Amino acid sequence: MGEKISITIPVIRPEKAKRCIASIYKNGGLPDSQFEIVTEEDHERIGAPKMIQKLVAKAKHEIVVFLGDDTTVEPDCLKNALDAMQTFPDNWGMIGLNDQHHDGTDVATHWMVHKKLLPFLDGTFFHTGYKHTRCDVELTERCIELGRYIHCPIATITHHHPHTDRALMDKDYTRVYDREMVVPDQRLYRQRKLDRVGPTLAIAFPLINDNVSVQFMVSFLAMEKPDFTLLMPRFSVGRMATNIAGIRNDLISQSMGMYGSYSHVLMLDTDQLYPPDTVTKMLQHAVDGYKMVGTPVHRSWPPFDPLLYRGKLGKYQHVPDKECYSGDMIEVDATGCGAVMYSTDIFLDIPTPWYEIRKGIDGKTVGEDIGLCWKVRNAGYQIYVDTSMEIGHLVTYEVKRETYELYKKLNRMGYHEATECYTDYDEQDQDSLFLPGSEH
């Protein structure tokens, strides 16, 4: 006779729970004598983590399954999961069920586990500090770290959830996925992971097309880098988005994504040259507690000034050159975002879209980088720039009469006046002034 299992189902929707239970008897692939079903209705809406703790305490058997009441099991699901459990050393670990929606190598939304894991998980499978989200991500990651996780693609369930059918949305889904519920879970998950494994780094390339400078790539390869994950825009090659704000938003979204998150993301524009110690310096700033650290990056068109400002939106003043080249860590109110290290928790405190290109109250265009800085400062965070770092900005443009006339005009205006004139303009837009084919 095979090992017996306890199937736990926290109940929010009793009618759907009945459907789930019927599917277990019909499709589980195990004789009725080999499992028990442990359920309880969550009248007080205390949430899945606390309900799972209560149900596991009632479970008679060493192997426990978690199914939501909005799931149904497909043929031989439980049998296949139990067979996978036997492949572990000593036959214990965690089996991620295939919910047909998520990559089970990143997160197991529903699972089969052995109680021998409990001493390694602070005594509970879902940490009860979570309200609803991220508890499954943490459990999956911790079991992977222990070498006790297998995703079983043939242990299939159907998850009847609004993320595939909006018609299924009800007041309970609305409640648990509200920002006021989700953000505290994101914050708790991030801090617990930071405490458990230390800083985790994503390096993001905000590509607007599928062309990357060889000079950039050589400088990137020469960098000293610890373990990191490379993030790229989620667009097909040759079909990149043309809106740099949307691309930056996508990269930040990935860094804080459903399948886990990183404590820090270093966003590096690919039209720049970087010194070999770029990443190590930035990581040290992260360890020292800085939330947002930029580098001096020069504008790629006249007057070629480093994009460092103090003041308020629409009234920024350029940081004096003496500070820009001091080699010190200086505080600013806004900077270009060509090379910036972010602590990802700041994005939990500022509204989305984080980056956007828009018009200011004076009618001038506010670039996505300046706008992001304005939001970060309004959220109460400080912005610093490490002026010891020297980043080169690569440019390729056609020089013709318009180039000459513009330079003469700027030269007559004088450096500071010209700088103030374009303070709130998006750097990406200004580059286009000199690109071949530009109408300017």
Q: Three-class SS string for the chain?
A: CCCCEEEEEEECCHHHHHHHHHHHHHHCCCCHHHEEEEEEECCCCCCHHHHHHHHHHHCCCCEEEECCCCEEECCCHHHHHHHHHCCCHHHCCEEEEECCCCCCCCCCCCEEEEHHHHHHCCCCCCCCCCCCCCHHHHHHHHHHHCCCEEEEEEEEEEECCCCCCHHHCCHHHHHHCCHHHHHHHHHHHHHHHHHHHCCCEEEECCCCCCCCCHHHHHHHHCCCCCCCEEECCCCCCCCCCCCHHHHHHHHHHHHCCCCCCCCEEEEECCCEECCCCHHHHHHHHHHCCCCEEECCEECCCCCCCECEEECCCCCCEECCHHHHCCCCEEEECEECCCEEEEEHHHHHCCCCCCCCCEECCCCCEECHHHHHHHHHHHCCCCEEEECCCCEEECCCCCCCHHHHHHHHHHHHHCHHHHHHHCCCCCHHHHHHHHCCCCCC
Query: Total domain count for the chain?
Result: 2
Whichever domain contains 105, its CATH number is 3.90.550.10
Answer yes or no: do 305 and 426 share one domain: yes
Answer yes or no: do 297 and 324 share one domain: yes
> Domain span at residue 350?
199-434
Cβ atoms 265, 251 nearer than 8 A: yes
Beta bridge partners of 95: 112, 150
Does a structural domain hold residue 335? yes
Whichever domain contains 379, its CATH number is 3.90.550.40
Residue with tokens 């001493």: 119
Beta bridge partners of 11: 41
Answer yes or no: do 13 and 126 share one domain: yes
How far apart are alpha carbons 95 and 259 in whole angstroms?
A: 17
Answer yes or no: do 328 and 424 share one domain: yes
Domain boundary (193, 224, 259) is at 193
Answer yes or no: do 30 and 150 share one domain: yes
Answer yes or no: do 26 and 119 share one domain: yes
Query: Does the bond joining 303 to the residue before it have cis omega, within 30 degrees of 0?
Result: yes
pLDDT of residue 242: 59
User: Which two structure tokens, joined as six digits, stand for 6?
Assistant: 């306890």
Answer yes or no: do 334 and 349 share one domain: yes
Answer yes or no: do 43 and 121 share one domain: yes
Cβ atoms 343, 264 nearer than 8 A: yes
Does a structural domain hold residue 223? yes
* Predicted model pTM: 0.84
Q: Helix axis angle, 135-145 relative to 179-197, nearest 10°?
A: 20
Answer yes or no: do 174 and 314 share one domain: no
Does a structural domain hold residue 440? no
pLDDT of residue 157: 98
Residue type, 227: D
Domain boundary (193, 226, 242) is at 193
pLDDT of residue 220: 96
Domain boundary (193, 222, 247) is at 193
Does a structural domain hold residue 292? yes
Look at residues 251, 8, 50, 259 and name the one whose alpha carbon lies nearest to residue 134: 259
Answer yes or no: do 306 and 276 share one domain: yes
Residue type, 422: Y
Answer yes or no: do 268 and 373 share one domain: yes
Burial of 400 (0-12, 13-18, 19+ CB in 10 A): exposed
Answer yes or no: do 173 and 277 share one domain: no
Per-residue pLDDT of the chain (440 residues; tens, 9 = 90+): 489 999 999 999 999 999 999 999 999 999 999 999 999 999 999 999 999 999 999 999 999 999 999 999 999 999 999 999 999 999 999 999 999 998 888 899 999 999 999 999 999 999 999 999 999 999 999 999 999 999 999 999 999 988 888 888 889 889 999 999 999 999 999 999 999 999 999 999 999 887 888 999 999 999 999 999 999 998 644 455 558 999 999 999 999 987 778 999 999 999 999 999 999 999 999 999 999 999 999 988 777 889 999 999 888 999 999 999 999 999 999 999 999 999 999 999 998 899 998 877 677 778 899 999 999 999 999 999 999 999 999 988 777 888 778 777 877 755 444 344 334 334 444 433 333 333 33
